[in-house]
Amino acid sequence: MALGPFYVAQKLIETTGVRGTAILMRHGETTWNREGRVMGCRPVELNEHGRAQVAATAELARAVRPEVIVTSPLVRARQSAEIVAAVLGGLEIIEEPEISEVLYGRWEGLTYHDLIEDPHYVAYRKAPIEHPTPGGETIPEVQARGVGAITRTIAARTGQRVLFVSHGDIVRTVLCHFLGLELKYFHRIRVDNAALSAIQIAGEFAEVKFLNLLPDPGRAFSAPFSTAKPANKPHRS
Protein backbone atom coordinates (compact mmCIF):
# COMPACT_ATOMS: atom_id res chain seq x y z
CA MET A 1 0.00 0.00 0.00
CA ALA A 2 1.18 3.53 -0.74
CA LEU A 3 2.31 5.46 2.34
CA GLY A 4 0.46 8.70 1.48
CA PRO A 5 -2.71 7.61 3.34
CA PHE A 6 -0.61 6.86 6.47
CA TYR A 7 0.46 10.51 6.63
CA VAL A 8 -3.11 11.75 6.14
CA ALA A 9 -4.54 9.38 8.74
CA GLN A 10 -2.01 10.53 11.32
CA LYS A 11 -2.68 14.20 10.59
CA LEU A 12 -6.43 13.74 10.96
CA ILE A 13 -5.94 11.95 14.28
CA GLU A 14 -3.27 14.17 15.83
CA THR A 15 -4.21 17.68 14.73
CA THR A 16 -6.09 19.98 17.10
CA GLY A 17 -7.96 23.14 16.19
CA VAL A 18 -10.69 23.61 13.58
CA ARG A 19 -12.15 20.26 12.58
CA GLY A 20 -14.92 19.46 10.15
CA THR A 21 -15.81 19.04 6.49
CA ALA A 22 -16.63 21.80 4.02
CA ILE A 23 -18.65 20.67 1.01
CA LEU A 24 -18.54 23.38 -1.65
CA MET A 25 -21.27 23.71 -4.26
CA ARG A 26 -21.65 26.23 -7.05
CA HIS A 27 -25.22 27.36 -7.75
CA GLY A 28 -27.16 25.86 -10.67
CA GLU A 29 -27.29 27.26 -14.17
CA THR A 30 -28.97 30.54 -15.06
CA THR A 31 -29.85 32.00 -18.45
CA TRP A 32 -26.97 34.43 -17.99
CA ASN A 33 -24.55 31.51 -17.52
CA ARG A 34 -25.61 30.14 -20.92
CA GLU A 35 -25.18 33.59 -22.47
CA GLY A 36 -21.70 34.05 -21.01
CA ARG A 37 -22.93 37.16 -19.21
CA VAL A 38 -21.41 38.54 -15.97
CA MET A 39 -23.93 38.22 -13.12
CA GLY A 40 -22.04 39.59 -10.15
CA CYS A 41 -24.60 40.73 -7.56
CA ARG A 42 -27.53 40.89 -9.98
CA PRO A 43 -30.66 39.00 -8.83
CA VAL A 44 -30.57 36.40 -11.61
CA GLU A 45 -32.67 33.31 -10.94
CA LEU A 46 -32.00 29.68 -11.85
CA ASN A 47 -33.39 28.54 -15.16
CA GLU A 48 -35.30 25.28 -15.54
CA HIS A 49 -32.16 23.37 -16.48
CA GLY A 50 -30.33 24.82 -13.48
CA ARG A 51 -33.04 23.61 -11.12
CA ALA A 52 -32.77 20.13 -12.62
CA GLN A 53 -28.96 20.22 -12.22
CA VAL A 54 -29.26 21.10 -8.54
CA ALA A 55 -31.89 18.42 -7.88
CA ALA A 56 -29.62 15.79 -9.46
CA THR A 57 -26.64 16.99 -7.43
CA ALA A 58 -28.72 16.91 -4.26
CA GLU A 59 -29.15 13.17 -4.78
CA LEU A 60 -25.35 12.86 -4.90
CA ALA A 61 -25.14 14.88 -1.69
CA ARG A 62 -27.18 12.26 0.17
CA ALA A 63 -24.08 10.07 0.37
CA VAL A 64 -22.03 12.95 1.81
CA ARG A 65 -24.67 13.63 4.50
CA PRO A 66 -24.36 17.38 5.10
CA GLU A 67 -25.84 18.55 8.40
CA VAL A 68 -26.50 22.20 7.59
CA ILE A 69 -26.43 24.44 4.51
CA VAL A 70 -24.68 27.82 4.45
CA THR A 71 -25.47 29.86 1.34
CA SER A 72 -24.62 33.07 -0.41
CA PRO A 73 -27.70 35.32 -0.12
CA LEU A 74 -27.82 35.94 -3.89
CA VAL A 75 -31.01 34.54 -5.36
CA ARG A 76 -29.43 31.87 -7.60
CA ALA A 77 -27.48 30.46 -4.66
CA ARG A 78 -30.41 30.68 -2.24
CA GLN A 79 -32.67 28.88 -4.72
CA SER A 80 -30.03 26.16 -5.11
CA ALA A 81 -29.75 25.78 -1.33
CA GLU A 82 -33.53 25.49 -0.99
CA ILE A 83 -33.70 22.73 -3.61
CA VAL A 84 -30.95 20.74 -1.88
CA ALA A 85 -32.54 21.27 1.55
CA ALA A 86 -35.89 19.99 0.27
CA VAL A 87 -34.38 16.89 -1.33
CA LEU A 88 -32.40 16.09 1.83
CA GLY A 89 -35.37 16.44 4.16
CA GLY A 90 -35.42 20.06 5.25
CA LEU A 91 -31.89 20.96 6.34
CA GLU A 92 -31.39 24.31 8.06
CA ILE A 93 -30.24 27.09 5.70
CA ILE A 94 -28.05 29.96 6.94
CA GLU A 95 -27.11 32.95 4.78
CA GLU A 96 -23.48 34.09 4.72
CA PRO A 97 -22.74 37.31 2.76
CA GLU A 98 -18.98 36.62 2.75
CA ILE A 99 -19.41 33.79 0.24
CA SER A 100 -21.33 35.99 -2.22
CA GLU A 101 -20.09 36.47 -5.78
CA VAL A 102 -17.10 38.65 -6.66
CA LEU A 103 -17.98 42.37 -6.89
CA TYR A 104 -17.74 43.04 -10.63
CA GLY A 105 -19.13 46.59 -10.66
CA ARG A 106 -19.57 48.00 -14.16
CA TRP A 107 -18.81 44.60 -15.73
CA GLU A 108 -22.14 43.23 -14.49
CA GLY A 109 -24.49 42.51 -17.36
CA LEU A 110 -21.72 42.43 -19.98
CA THR A 111 -20.97 39.39 -22.11
CA TYR A 112 -17.70 37.64 -22.95
CA HIS A 113 -17.46 39.56 -26.23
CA ASP A 114 -18.20 42.86 -24.50
CA LEU A 115 -15.31 42.30 -22.12
CA ILE A 116 -12.45 40.65 -23.98
CA GLU A 117 -11.18 43.93 -25.46
CA ASP A 118 -11.96 46.14 -22.45
CA PRO A 119 -8.52 47.50 -21.33
CA HIS A 120 -9.44 47.18 -17.64
CA TYR A 121 -10.47 43.55 -18.17
CA VAL A 122 -7.32 42.81 -20.21
CA ALA A 123 -5.17 44.04 -17.30
CA TYR A 124 -7.27 42.09 -14.78
CA ARG A 125 -7.15 38.89 -16.83
CA LYS A 126 -3.34 39.05 -17.02
CA ALA A 127 -2.86 39.79 -13.31
CA PRO A 128 -6.03 39.27 -11.21
CA ILE A 129 -3.87 39.02 -8.10
CA GLU A 130 -2.81 42.66 -8.42
CA HIS A 131 -5.66 44.31 -10.31
CA PRO A 132 -9.08 44.84 -8.72
CA THR A 133 -12.34 44.45 -10.56
CA PRO A 134 -14.25 47.69 -11.23
CA GLY A 135 -16.26 46.67 -8.17
CA GLY A 136 -13.12 47.08 -6.07
CA GLU A 137 -11.98 43.52 -5.24
CA THR A 138 -8.78 41.66 -5.99
CA ILE A 139 -8.76 37.87 -6.10
CA PRO A 140 -6.71 37.67 -2.83
CA GLU A 141 -9.43 39.73 -1.13
CA VAL A 142 -12.09 37.38 -2.53
CA GLN A 143 -10.15 34.37 -1.26
CA ALA A 144 -9.66 35.92 2.18
CA ARG A 145 -13.36 36.49 2.76
CA GLY A 146 -14.32 33.07 1.42
CA VAL A 147 -11.76 31.16 3.47
CA GLY A 148 -12.57 33.27 6.54
CA ALA A 149 -16.28 32.50 6.32
CA ILE A 150 -15.72 28.78 5.84
CA THR A 151 -13.17 28.54 8.65
CA ARG A 152 -15.40 30.46 11.09
CA THR A 153 -18.38 28.27 10.25
CA ILE A 154 -16.47 25.00 10.64
CA ALA A 155 -14.95 26.24 13.92
CA ALA A 156 -18.44 26.93 15.27
CA ARG A 157 -19.69 23.48 14.20
CA THR A 158 -16.87 21.15 15.23
CA GLY A 159 -16.91 17.82 13.46
CA GLN A 160 -19.91 18.62 11.27
CA ARG A 161 -20.28 18.43 7.50
CA VAL A 162 -21.38 21.80 6.17
CA LEU A 163 -22.60 22.38 2.61
CA PHE A 164 -21.63 25.85 1.33
CA VAL A 165 -23.57 27.04 -1.72
CA SER A 166 -21.58 29.75 -3.44
CA HIS A 167 -20.17 30.95 -6.78
CA GLY A 168 -17.48 29.85 -9.22
CA ASP A 169 -14.56 32.11 -8.34
CA ILE A 170 -15.23 31.91 -4.59
CA VAL A 171 -15.09 28.11 -4.80
CA ARG A 172 -11.92 28.18 -6.94
CA THR A 173 -10.05 30.48 -4.58
CA VAL A 174 -11.09 28.51 -1.49
CA LEU A 175 -9.91 25.28 -3.12
CA CYS A 176 -6.56 26.93 -3.93
CA HIS A 177 -6.14 27.78 -0.25
CA PHE A 178 -6.81 24.27 1.03
CA LEU A 179 -4.84 22.61 -1.79
CA GLY A 180 -1.85 24.83 -1.04
CA LEU A 181 -1.97 25.99 -4.65
CA GLU A 182 -0.68 29.44 -5.62
CA LEU A 183 -3.67 31.68 -6.11
CA LYS A 184 -2.48 32.78 -9.57
CA TYR A 185 -3.50 29.31 -10.77
CA PHE A 186 -7.11 29.55 -9.60
CA HIS A 187 -8.37 29.55 -13.20
CA ARG A 188 -7.01 26.02 -13.66
CA ILE A 189 -9.71 24.54 -11.40
CA ARG A 190 -12.93 23.69 -13.24
CA VAL A 191 -16.05 24.50 -11.22
CA ASP A 192 -19.27 23.67 -13.04
CA ASN A 193 -22.78 24.77 -12.14
CA ALA A 194 -24.16 22.58 -9.33
CA ALA A 195 -20.82 20.75 -8.91
CA LEU A 196 -19.62 19.51 -5.51
CA SER A 197 -16.13 19.60 -3.99
CA ALA A 198 -15.26 18.52 -0.45
CA ILE A 199 -12.47 19.29 2.01
CA GLN A 200 -11.87 17.68 5.39
CA ILE A 201 -10.23 20.27 7.65
CA ALA A 202 -8.12 19.43 10.69
CA GLY A 203 -6.31 22.45 12.11
CA GLU A 204 -3.68 23.59 9.60
CA PHE A 205 -4.08 20.38 7.60
CA ALA A 206 -6.71 19.65 4.96
CA GLU A 207 -7.47 16.73 2.69
CA VAL A 208 -9.41 17.43 -0.51
CA LYS A 209 -11.82 14.52 -0.90
CA PHE A 210 -13.04 15.28 -4.42
CA LEU A 211 -13.29 18.14 -6.92
CA ASN A 212 -16.09 19.20 -9.30
CA LEU A 213 -18.22 16.09 -8.72
CA LEU A 214 -21.17 15.98 -11.12
CA PRO A 215 -24.05 13.57 -11.64
CA ASP A 216 -23.32 13.92 -15.39
CA PRO A 217 -19.48 14.03 -15.54
CA GLY A 218 -19.38 14.43 -19.30
CA ARG A 219 -20.57 18.00 -18.78
CA ALA A 220 -17.12 18.93 -17.48
CA PHE A 221 -15.74 18.46 -21.00
CA SER A 222 -18.21 20.86 -22.61
CA ALA A 223 -17.78 24.63 -22.77
CA PRO A 224 -20.18 26.34 -20.34
CA PHE A 225 -21.10 28.94 -22.99
CA SER A 226 -20.38 29.60 -26.64
CA THR A 227 -17.38 31.79 -27.48
CA ALA A 228 -18.47 32.09 -31.12
CA LYS A 229 -18.88 35.72 -32.09
CA PRO A 230 -22.54 36.46 -32.86
CA ALA A 231 -23.24 37.33 -36.47
CA ASN A 232 -24.09 40.95 -37.19
CA LYS A 233 -27.78 41.38 -37.81
CA PRO A 234 -28.60 42.96 -41.19
CA HIS A 235 -29.91 46.51 -41.07
CA ARG A 236 -33.51 46.99 -42.04
CA SER A 237 -34.27 49.72 -44.51
Domain ranges of the chain: 16-104+141-216
pTM: 0.93
User: What pLDDT digit, counting tens, does each position of 106-153 carry?
Assistant: 999 999 999 998 999 999 999 999 999 999 999 999 999 999 999 999
Residues 6+ apart with CB under 8 A from 42: 32, 108, 109
Topology of domain 16-104+141-216 in CATH is: Rossmann fold (3.40.50)
User: What pLDDT digit, counting tens, does each position of 161-179 carry?
Assistant: 999 999 999 999 999 999 9
Q: Give the angle subtended at the CA of 235 by the CAs of 234 and 237, to the nearest 5°.
A: 135
Taking only the tens of pLDDT, the chain with its 237 residues reads: 666 777 787 877 776 788 999 999 999 999 999 999 999 999 999 999 999 999 999 999 999 999 999 999 999 999 999 999 999 999 999 999 999 999 999 999 999 999 998 999 999 999 999 999 999 999 999 999 999 999 999 999 999 999 999 999 999 999 999 999 999 999 999 999 999 999 999 999 999 999 999 999 999 999 888 888 776 655 444
